[in-house]
Every structure is written in structure tokens, then in C-alpha cells.
Structure 1
């Protein structure tokens, strides 16, 4: 860490430490000559030494300096000094949305929507420049007062955007670029990102503004990652039963939180327009549920039913095969669950022909099941293989994603999640 009084880049004198994050430490520094205070973000040395990072840092810093929006933090300068990569940025005052939520809890609908609209305005400007934030969360949204109006400032564009190409490598080293409770599924998988990844994070923030809790309020990072990858988002009224919001607002939130990017709003402008339309609607009481509606569980199947319509399987789709690493009642239960969702399903032998199947579900029994499932997936003419196992077995989950399997189906089964994934597998086989 830098010492108080240390000079960086021959023009920034360190005054005090402001905070520390995954990619660097933030200091309050004085810019000599101008006498202004700045936020000086200095990359951790092991990140700065990563191959190619220095060149990418300077290239991206130039792009970030072009991001001029009232809701973004202005970049003043950047450079390399004695092995330290630094970024000098506007120093803001006020409080974070995270502090607001801790103090007040869930926010009124108009305020929650207004704050989110302001964030989306900043993202519109950033995405035009090709800048993806990658770490949007309440702690990175700052509130200040500008001409009598509450204004949102989006922080940490620099650290988040600059970490993009290193995301997968840093994660493998145990240092994730991003926050699991707010990261999109594709970001957790290390896939290429576009602006719709940020929209997923915005959806998480808006969800917490409306309910007082994030979509998946779990403390363990691995559990949060599993939830965002595989579990349906709980309806807003399930988290806050007395919540009264327009149905169109709930629809926009749930759309932003879709697991697949193509099902989310097309871009920040589209999501912003949807939310602005919500502000024009009258706020009435929540529609009462009809008798018998809600979430039910079919005994013996562990199969959850949701208020949202379950997508129908592909008409005329090929049958789905079920294989278990150890014979037992699990295969029969899974076949019954698939049948309840509208699929043709049957238990098959792993040694038999698989080419006539549209998808194959392999029920795991321990980590050694991964090798067996991968062997089936590598057979000529094999259908897409989905591994089925406990949602809290993080090594099994990541092993499935990294091992060339089509997808992971967590237990206990969820009807909507099961239908979506098997339908996608059937379509890919066709």
C-alpha cells in the first residue's frame, strides 16, 4: 500500500486511504498545482504485472476519459509510476445506495424507478463507447444532491471495465472481477459480455430497491453464484407480500433478470423506456391472488410449480433419456418429473444407442460422475448431456460447465428451469 504523503506520477500526493477492492486500493490524493482532491485508484501489483495488462490499461483509460456524463465519475489522468498503475478520478461526496438500503430498507416505487432510470442513462452513454461496467451493485452507486435533485453517480467504471479480459484468469486464481450477488450468469461462466450483462446487474439493484433484499440473499459467494446460474428469481411479492407495484414494473424487473441475455431488454435505452412508462402509470393495490394460485410442490417429485407460465416443450421433440451413475429410484423420479413437464422421457442404458434422443440427463452421484458424463457426451452422435445434481455442490457445478457438458440441472428440480434447459438441448440437437 502507498504511504500518506507519497507522491504518485509527480503530481498526486496521497492524503489517506479511502477503500480497497478486488483490483486495487482507492486513496484520496491532492493534485498538485490545481489543489483539488481526487480519488486515486492504484491497481494491485500482481494485477498490474499480468501480461498485457499495462497496455490494455492505458488503452481503456483513454476510452474511459471520453465517457462524459453527469452520472459518471470523470477521469482526470492515468499513468504508470514505479510499477504502480494509477487512475485519477473525480472525488464524490454523499452516500452509497448500499448505505441507503441499510438505513431505510425498501424504497417507494417512484424513487426506486427514478434511481434506476438514472443508472440506465449512464449505461447508455458507456455502452456506446463499448464500456461494460461488470460490477454494478448498490455499493457502486453514489447519491448526491445536484441543484435540489437527488442524482446518482456510477462509481468504479475504471476498475470494472479495465478488468474485462482478465476476468476468467483472475477468477481461476480465486479473485473474481465482479460481485457474485449481482453478476450475470454469462459473466460467472466467463463468456463474452455485452451491455445486457449490465442490465442483469441493474435488475438485481432494482429488485433490492423495491424489496429491501437482493434476488438471492445468501452470504456464501458459491451459493449466490449457483442461484444466479440456475434458480428462478423469487417473485417480488414473495419477498415483500405487501408490495404494491404495477404489473408492468414487475415484468420489467423479471425480464432484466432472465438467465439468457437474449431474453432481457435489448439495451439500456429499451429498459429505461419501459421504466419511464411505469412512472406514468397509477400505483394501485397489488392484484389479489386467486384461490389455489402460488407456489406448490408435488409430493415425491421435488418439482416446484410457479405462477409464471412454464414454457411448453418443443412439439415433436425427440425423447429425453435419463441415466444414473448408480441405479436406483432417482431415474424413475426424474422420468416422472420430465413427463409432468410434457416431455417424452425414459430410462436408458449408457451402453445403448443414444442417437435417437433429443437430450440426455445424467444423474450424478459424487464428483467421479463428471468423467462418466463427459465420456457419454463425447460419443459420436450423442445428444446434448445435462448433468443433474445438488445445487450446493459447487465443484460439481463448475465441473459441468467447464467439462463440455450442455448444462447443469440442480436438485431439487424446478419445473420452469427443467423445461427451459431440456427444451434448449432439444433445439440444439435439431
Structure 2
């Protein structure tokens, strides 16, 4: 921690600390000679000393310094001074979107969409230079007042990982950078990312702007990772039954949060155009006013605590569900059948010789990678109903293989009745 009065690189005098994060501390500092106040980000020593990090950081800074957009924070200087790796940036004033949500809760549709459009304009400029932010979240979006109205500034591009050679992990292979509640599935798995990863994160942000809640309720980080990897995004009406959001807008938000990058909008420009089209349409009647005492604090509690998102009631379909199991997994198959029955489904352990036309969905109990290949082969058969793979939630290879291998969905063990019901119901609906 640098004390006020400390001079960095003979040109920045530290005035006060502005905040501390996982990668470094940000200070307000005066640029000597110019009298300009800047935001000085100083990386934590254990990060700055990691092999190769200093070189990558300074190469990033050179690219970031060329990113000139009204919605991005301008980079003034960077360097290494007595072991201190620093980045001097434009000092912004105002408040973060996170603070705004804490105070006001969900935003009106026009305002939420306008903020997202402004962010997408910045992302267009960044992606054009190969810069992927990789940590978009309400706390990294700053609101400034300007003569033209509310202006969004996107913060923390200084921690972004660039495409190409700069996609190398910050300290070691497989390390992910970002905030779990807003990270894309491919980023969580440590896979290469491109601009579509930022669109996923922005979809999470827009979901919260419109509903007042994150896509998945506050939970331990490991559970949030699992939710983003394979759980469907709850529809708006499940989170806020009183909310009135255009169907086209909700569809776009959910598409931005698709698990596979190829299912999302192709780029920031395309998503921005779709949002502008939503703004151009009539938005319908405003939601009913809330009673006195209800509102903002019921959506986001004080101190950042959020009330739990209501879960939907099971809505099972009428077509039966077939359960397919390896020979030595009969017990697991019977347990799954009982769970399905408890949720209101007709289900039984099926054989490969049964006619499948009568089934609304098939659940395959996983037993290693062989089961994944088996499920894929079943899904590829002509006339096959939607196939879901059921296996351990912590088997990332299995989860990833199911999502990327043509299967309808992945059902984690231990079973969550609500999750099981939602996924099987969706599969049955697709079959019909």
C-alpha cells in the first residue's frame, strides 16, 4: 500500500487510495508538471513479479493507449519503477452502475438499453483492435454526467487479455481472469475467448439492469461457475412477475447468454443494432406502481445482499421420458426414474430396442467418456427425441462434451428437482 505523497516513476504523486482489487490497487495521483489528476493502477507485487507478466502487461498497455473512444478510459502512461508495475489512466467522476443498481434497483427499459448500447459502442472499438475486456460487470461500468446526458465509461480495460499472442494466461496456463457471476462459459473453462465472450458478460449485466437481479442468485463461486456452464437462464417472469419487458429484448438478452459462442450475436455491432431496433418499437404500458415501502431495497438489499430469486414451480409435460443406463448403473437409473416420477413425469428405464417415437425425451446416465459417445450416437439417430446426459456436476469434461456435442442439455448430479423439471419440460416441448 502506497502512502500519500509517494512519487512513482518521478512523475506521479500519490494523493489517496481509491480502491483495491484482486489484481492491484488504484490511487488518485497528480501527474507532476501537468498538474493533472489521474487514476494510477499499481499491480500487486506478487502479480507483477510473475514470469513474463511485466512484458505482457506493457505490450497490452501500448495497445490500450491506442484505444480512443469517448466511452473508454484513456491511458496516459505505464511503466515499471522499482518493482512497481503501474498504469496511469484518465480519472473519472460519477458512480458505478453497481452503485446505481444498489440505490434504484431495476432500471426502466429505455435507460437500461441505452446504457447497454453505449457499452457496445466501446466494445466495437476495442474488438476492432483485438482487445477483449473479459471482466465486464456493473462495477466496471462508470456513469458520468455530460451535456448530452448520461455517459458510460468502461473501466478496467487495463486488466483485459488481448486476442492472439496476448491471450496467454496472466500467470499460468489455465488461469481464468474475471468475475464468476459475469464470466462466459468458455472463459471459465480457460478456453480461448473473443468478442463474443464480452457479449455474454454484457448479457448478464443487461439481465440485472432489467430485473434488478443477477442471472443466477448469489451463491458460492463454485456453484455460480456450474450455473453458467450448464443451467438455463431463468426467464424474466420467474424472477420478476410484475415486470413488463418486450419479448424481443428478453430473447436478445438470453441469446447473448447462450452457452456456446456461436449461438450468440456475431459481434458487438450486430447486438447494438438489435438493441436500437428494440428502442425504436413501442414499449407498451409501464408496469404497475409498487406499494409504499416496496421497491428498490426488495430487489437489491443493503450492503450488496440480494434476496433469493424465486424458483419456478415444476410444469412437467405429458409425454413419457426414457432413461437409458449402462448395465452396471441400474441403481442410478432407478433413482432417476423415481426422481422424474416425483416431479410428475411418466418415466421408466428403457432399452435401445424400444420404439422411441413415444418418448418426449431420453436421459442417459453417464459413466465416463464412453457414455458421452453413446449419448451423442443416440442423439444422431433419425427420429431420436432430445437427449440429455445426466452425470456429476464437477466433471467439467463431461459437462463441456455434452454442451458442445449435439446433446440437448446436461443434468447434474446430485439432482435438483427444479433444474431437472425445467430441462426435461423444455426437451418435451421441443419434441412436440
TM-score range, shorter-chain basis? 0.7 to 0.9
Aligned to 1:119: 119
2:98–2:138 contact (8 Å) kept in structure 1: yes
Q: Distance in 2 between the 1:152 and 1:55 partners?
A: 30
Please tell me whether residue 223 in structure 1 is matched to residue 223 in structure 2: yes
2:141–2:153 contact (8 Å) kept in structure 1: yes
Go from structure 1 to structure 2 and tell me whether the alpha carbon gap of 1:285 and 1:56 turns closer, same or farther (over 3 Å shift).
same
2:161–2:167 contact (8 Å) kept in structure 1: yes
Q: Deviations over 1:110-159 (max 9, x none)?
A: 10010110000000000000000000000000001111410000000111
TM-superposed CA distance for 1:390, in Å, is 5.7
1:245–1:285 contact (8 Å) kept in structure 2: no
1:38–1:90 contact (8 Å) kept in structure 2: yes
Aligned to 1:322: 325
Aligned to 2:314: 296
2:12–2:32 contact (8 Å) kept in structure 1: yes
SS of the equivalent of 1:328 reads helix
Aligned to 1:207: 207
Q: Distance in 2 between the 1:215 and 1:161 partners?
A: 24
TM-superposed CA distance for 1:334, in Å, is 5.8
Question: TM-score, structure 1 length as denominator?
Answer: 0.75
1:360–1:386 contact (8 Å) kept in structure 2: yes
TM-superposed CA distance for 1:419, in Å, is 9.8
Q: How many residues align?
A: 371
Aligned to 2:79: 79
TM-superposed CA distance for 1:222, in Å, is 1.3
Q: Distance in 2 between the 1:6 and 1:324 partners?
A: 70
TM-superposed CA distance for 1:60, in Å, is 1.1
Aligned to 2:172: 169
Answer with 322-331 or 194-203: which moved more.
322-331
Go from structure 1 to structure 2 and tell me whether the alpha carbon gap of 1:378 and 1:215 turns closer, same or farther (over 3 Å shift).
closer
Q: Distance in 1 between the 2:50 and 2:140 partners?
A: 25
Match 1:373 to one of 346, 368, 371: 368
Aligned to 2:110: 110
2:106–2:212 contact (8 Å) kept in structure 1: yes
Q: Distance in 1 between the 2:208 and 2:226 partners?
A: 19
* Correspondence list, 1:10-409, <5 A: 10-161=10-161, 164-166=167-169, 169=172, 176-285=176-285, 296-298=314-316, 321-323=324-326, 326-328=329-331, 330-331=333-334, 333=336, 346=350, 361-363=364-366, 373-374=368-369, 388-389=390-391, 391=393, 396-398=394-396, 400=398, 409=411
Go from structure 1 to structure 2 and tell me whether the alpha carbon gap of 1:251 and 1:376 turns closer, same or farther (over 3 Å shift).
closer
TM-superposed CA distance for 1:279, in Å, is 0.8
Q: Distance in 2 between the 1:47 and 1:382 partners?
A: 46
TM-superposed CA distance for 1:378, in Å, is 9.8
Go from structure 1 to structure 2 and tell me whether the alpha carbon gap of 1:325 and 1:145 turns closer, same or farther (over 3 Å shift).
farther
TM-superposed CA distance for 1:374, in Å, is 4.9
Q: Distance in 2 between the 1:64 and 1:324 partners?
A: 57
Go from structure 1 to structure 2 and tell me whether the alpha carbon gap of 1:83 and 1:235 turns closer, same or farther (over 3 Å shift).
same
Q: Deviations over 1:221-280 (max 9, x none)?
A: 111111111111111122111211221111111111111111111100001000101111
Q: Distance in 1 between the 2:22 and 2:218 partners?
A: 20
Q: Distance in 1 between the 2:96 and 2:403 partners?
A: 41
Q: Distance in 1 between the 2:230 and 2:252 partners?
A: 20
1:335–1:347 contact (8 Å) kept in structure 2: no
Go from structure 1 to structure 2 and tell me whether the alpha carbon gap of 1:283 and 1:8 turns closer, same or farther (over 3 Å shift).
same
Question: TM-score, structure 2 length as denominator?
Answer: 0.75
Go from structure 1 to structure 2 and tell me whether the alpha carbon gap of 1:151 and 1:419 turns closer, same or farther (over 3 Å shift).
same
Q: Deviations over 1:369-408 (max 9, x none)?
A: xxx62577799x99999973465xxxx2447469999785
Go from structure 1 to structure 2 and tell me whether the alpha carbon gap of 1:345 and 1:200 turns closer, same or farther (over 3 Å shift).
farther
Gaps of 5+ in 2: 288-311, 353-361, 380-386, 428-432
Q: Please tell me the root mean square deviation across aligned C-alpha atoms, in Å.
A: 3.9
Answer with 397-406 or 137-146: which moved more.
397-406
1:22–1:177 contact (8 Å) kept in structure 2: no
